[in-house]
């Protein structure tokens, strides 16, 4: 079961810049490695995925950054739980990154992995129709510009057209974390498992079109760091 955020912090909202500041402070000032935060995030994602799809195949679509790293690690937990898990990677992470560590672990485990260009031989639509749940781990909160044509955009469009339930990691790929509108295109998620707290864009009227229902998973950030960088959730009129 994914751990809920402590009651006292559930009203905190984290902008794109605040999320970056939390990561930097937690890693640099407190010495908590980023790989630990990624592992905690992945456990929450995997737990949510197993509740959303109690049986069947799970397709994890991973980008090249930390959001993809969360996806690689979640795929490991799902495979360890005995789930039929297939990974699509849209590119290779920086070899020095935490994402690359999880990519290498998955490779050594021998989990079914396809490069996006290779999967295109079957077609994203065919791959998606074979899945019972899709995990969107393409882009995270750092995305701030429109998504160019290419594999990421192709897969976002295909996921939106597939009719399968979709679990977004931290936020739906392509959604502007601060403004709540698509950066050209965005995943339409069934559910979003977000970290630290909701993003300002989640609170914009109509954002649920992309986020679906959302919940916050505790990734182990010290509570005083959350309070330092989070802002109070606006009160509803």
> What tens-digit pLDDT sequence spans the chain (237 residues)?
344 544 444 579 999 999 999 999 999 999 999 999 999 999 999 999 999 999 999 999 999 999 999 999 999 999 999 999 999 999 999 999 999 999 999 999 999 998 887 666 667 888 899 999 999 999 999 999 999 999 999 999 999 999 999 999 999 999 999 999 999 999 999 999 999 999 999 999 999 999 999 999 999 999 999 999 999 987 754
The answer to whether 162 touches 135, Cβ cutoff 8 Å, is no
**Domain tally, the chain:** 1
The predicted model scores a pTM of: 0.93
Which residues constitute the domain of residue 199? Answer: 7-226
37 located within any domain: yes
Residue 233, in any domain of the structure: no
Q: Please report whether residue 77 resides in a domain.
A: yes
2 domain-assigned: no
CATH number of the CATH domain containing 56: 3.40.50.10260
Residue 207 CA to residue 186 CA, distance in Å, equals 11
């Amino acid at each position: 079961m994914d751990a809920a955020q402590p009651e006292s912090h559930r009203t905190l909202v984290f902008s794109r810049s605040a999320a970056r500041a939390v990561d930097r402070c937690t890693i640099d000032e407190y010495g908590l490695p980023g790989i630990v935060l990624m592992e905690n995030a992945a456990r929450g994602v995997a737990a949510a995925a197993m509740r959303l799809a109690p049986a069947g195949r799970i397709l994890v679509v991973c980008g090249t950054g930390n959001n993809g790293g969360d996806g690689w690690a979640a795929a490991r937990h799902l495979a360890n739980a005995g789930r039929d898990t297939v990974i699509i990677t849209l590119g290779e992470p920086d070899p020095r990154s935490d994402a690359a560590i999880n990519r290498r672990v998955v490779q050594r485990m021998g989990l079914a992995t396809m490069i996006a260009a290779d999967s295109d031989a079957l077609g994203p639509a065919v791959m998606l129709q074979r899945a019972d749940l899709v995990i969107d781990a393409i882009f995270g909160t750092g995305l701030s510009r429109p998504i160019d044509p290419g594999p990421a955009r192709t897969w976002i469009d295909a996921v939106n057209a597939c009719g399968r339930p979709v679990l977004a990691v931290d936020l739906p790929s392509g959604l502007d974390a601060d403004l709540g509108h698509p950066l050209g295109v965005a995943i339409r998620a069934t559910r979003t498992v977000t970290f630290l707290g909701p993003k300002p864009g989640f609170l914009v009227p109509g954002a649920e079109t992309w986020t679906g229902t959302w919940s916050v998973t505790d990734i182990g950030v010290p509570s005083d760091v959350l309070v330092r960088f989070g802002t109070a959730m606006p009160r509803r009129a």
